[in-house]
Every structure is written in structure tokens, then in C-alpha cells.
């Protein structure tokens, strides 16, 4: 069992605002993971990606990347699908160069035809998987569970795609699942359901989250908040992870990135898990 914890993006306390210094700060804090966020575009050069990977490897900080948010593989406009694929592939390439485990992505929106959206997203993921194979990239696609009813990506949909597509794994965003279900989450059920994928390790996100019950469906995320300010319950998750002896990476998407990462670490340590073993 190996647990890795760290922030989504450069730690707030990092003096110099670049990913290499961010990884160094993560290691100084006693954390061991960081997700590189390409929020508004893939602007990191290939050279910097390689340097970042070398630093992270030396410091034993596991890297992942987050694809830009402007993605919709279910769009009715072919140009938008083409642009989305390019952003995903650019992220995967940089991820491979830095030795990242996965490139986490929000794949799209249902629109008016849920069935058509499912077909387009599955086809797009297959084409991206083929590119991963052809390029020999080690970074895989991290298909994220989403927190809004209009966004493609409930747990069952994510599992279905990952069953059918090579080079794709789920990214379980526990806060998103909680919001999507209107303030309910069953960690045991989630882990039971993903067992079918036979994952060597799990990649995940965690934070507190505000959500609304208005509109269609059970719930819709509003925004991420510090863990202590709102659900879901992290201690229950930690206990379930330790009970199952899971290999897992948990990326903190709380607004107080490294502070809540350290809070999560403290919870595990109080439950007798040692990060030094």
C-alpha cells in the first residue's frame, strides 16, 4: 500500500511561481505528489517538461497533469472536437516528457442527446488512446468524474469508458461525486464498482465542495472549499482506503492547497499510516 498526497498546482507558499519550484516546495512540505494544471492552455515547453520530470523523480514527487478546461468531445461542431483533442494530446505529450502518471480531463457535456454524447466521447477517447499507443507515451488518460448534471462523467459513465478504452483510467473526484449525488457519497460503493477495472493504483481528487439542489437531477457543484468547511467527510475516506490497503494518489483541489494536503496527511498519520515506510 502506497498513499501519495499533494496539491493541484503550485503550492500557495511557493515563493517562485513555476512548476519546478512548486515540486521542490511540495517535497519540502513532506508531500509526495503534485498535479500540474494546464488550466488555460498547454504553455509549458517540452524542455521545461523534461526538467520538471527530472526534479520530481529526484525528490520522489509523483506528477500528474490536468488538461485545459476548454474540452468538449461531444460537441456538435467538429472544429471544437478537433481543438479539444489537440489540447488533450498536447497535455499527454508534456505529461509523458515529465513522467506524469495521467492527464486528467473533463471530457464534455451531454447537450440534448445523451446517447449521442456517450458515442462521441467513447470514439474520441479511443482515438486518443490509439495516439498514446502510437507515440509510445507512458502517460494515460485520466477520465474525471464530474459534479454537474449537464457535464458528462458520472461514475458509471467513467467506468464504462475505462473498460472499453485502453490507456484510460478513472480519476475519482470524491467532491464531484458528492455534489452530483446531492450531498451523498458511499466510499465503499465507489471502490467496489471500480474493482472491475483491476487498477494497479487509483488516481483521485479531494476537497470540500458547495453544491446546489436546484434544477434537474440530484445536485450541481458550485465551487470547491477547504475540507473542514463542507463535505464530503475525509476521515471516512481515509479509513476505507486503509481498510482496503489501496495504492492511491489524492490530489487536493481545496483553495488552501498544501494546507489541506497536510491536513489529509495528518488524518492518515493519526490512523497509524506512516508516509516514511
Q: Does this model's pTM top 0.85? A: yes
Residues 28 and 34: their CA atoms lie apart, in Å, by 13
C-alpha 129: how far from chain center: 18
What is d(CA 233, CA 25) in angstroms, rounded to the nearest whole number? Answer: 27
Cis peptide before 232 (omega within 30 of 0): yes
Give a yes or no: residue 152 inside a domain: yes
The pLDDT, as a whole number, for residue 214 is: 72
Dihedrals phi, psi of 257, to nearest 5 degrees = -35, -75
Domain that holds residue 11: 3-270
Q: Which of 143, 79, 59 is nearest to 108 (CA)?
A: 143
Residue 275 falls inside a structural domain: no
Q: Is residue 277 part of a domain?
A: no
Total domain count for the chain? 1
Give the residue ranges of the chain where pLDDT is below 70: 215-217, 277
The two counts, helices (H) then strands (E), for the chain are 9, 10
Domain for residue 187, yes or no?
yes
Q: Is there a domain that residue 90 lies in?
A: yes
Give the pLDDT confidence score for residue 40 in this predicted structure: 87
Start-end of H helices in 136-186: 155-164, 174-180
Within a domain: 164: yes
Cβ(108)–Cβ(57) under 8 Å? Answer: no
Amino acid 51: pLDDT: 98
Is residue 76 assigned to a domain?
yes
- Residues in the chain, overall count: 277
- The predicted pLDDT at position 276 comes to 87
* In-domain check, residue 276: no
What CATH number has the domain bearing residue 53?
Answer: 3.20.20.150
**C-alpha to C-alpha distance for 39 and 94, rounded to whole angstroms:** 14
pLDDT confidence of residue 216:
65
Amino acid at each position: 500500500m502506497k498513499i501519495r498526497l499533494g496539491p493541484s498546482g503550485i503550492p500557495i507558499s511557493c515563493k517562485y511561481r513555476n512548476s519546478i519550484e512548486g515540486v521542490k516546495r511540495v517535497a519540502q512540505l513532506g508531500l509526495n505528489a503534485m498535479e500540474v494544471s494546464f488550466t488555460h492552455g498547454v504553455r509549458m515547453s517540452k524542455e521545461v517538461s523534461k526538467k520538471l520530470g527530472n526534479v520530481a523523480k529526484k525528490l520522489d514527487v509523483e506528477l500528474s497533469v490536468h488538461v485545459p478546461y476548454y474540452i468538449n468531445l461531444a460537441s456538435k461542431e467538429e472544429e471544437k472536437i478537433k481543438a479539444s483533442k489537440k489540447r488533450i494530446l498536447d497535455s499527454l505529450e508534456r505529461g509523458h516528457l515529465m513522467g506524469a502518471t495521467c492527464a486528467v480531463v473533463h471530457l464534455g457535456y451531454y447537450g440534448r442527446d445523451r446517447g449521442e454524447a456517450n458515442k462521441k466521447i467513447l470514439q474520441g477517447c479511443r482515438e486518443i488512446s490509439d495516439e498514446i499507443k502510437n507515440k509510445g507515451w507512458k502517460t494515460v488518460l485520466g477520465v474525471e468524474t464530474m459534479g454537474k448534471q449537464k457535464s458528462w462523467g458520472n461514475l458509471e459513465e467513467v467506468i464504462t469508458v475505462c473498460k472499453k478504452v485502453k490507456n484510460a483510467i478513472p480519476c475519482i473526484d470524491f467532491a464531484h461525486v458528492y455534489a452530483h449525488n446531492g450531498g451523498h457519497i458511499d466510499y465503499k460503493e465507489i471502490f467496489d464498482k471500480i474493482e472491475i477495472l483491476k487498477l494497479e493504483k487509483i488516481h483521485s481528487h479531494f476537497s470540500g465542495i458547495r453544491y446546489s439542489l436546484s434544477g434537474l437531477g440530484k445536485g450541481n457543484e458550485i465551487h470547491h472549499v477547504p475540507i473542514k468547511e463542507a463535505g464530503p467527510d475525509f476521515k471516512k475516506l481515509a479509513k476505507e482506503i486503509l481498510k482496503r490497503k489501496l495504492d492511491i494518489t489524492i490530489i487536493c483541489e481545496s483553495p488552501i492547497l498544501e494546507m489541506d494536503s497536510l491536513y489529509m496527511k495528518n488524518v492518515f498519520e493519526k490512523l497509524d499510516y506512516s508516509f516514511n515506510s
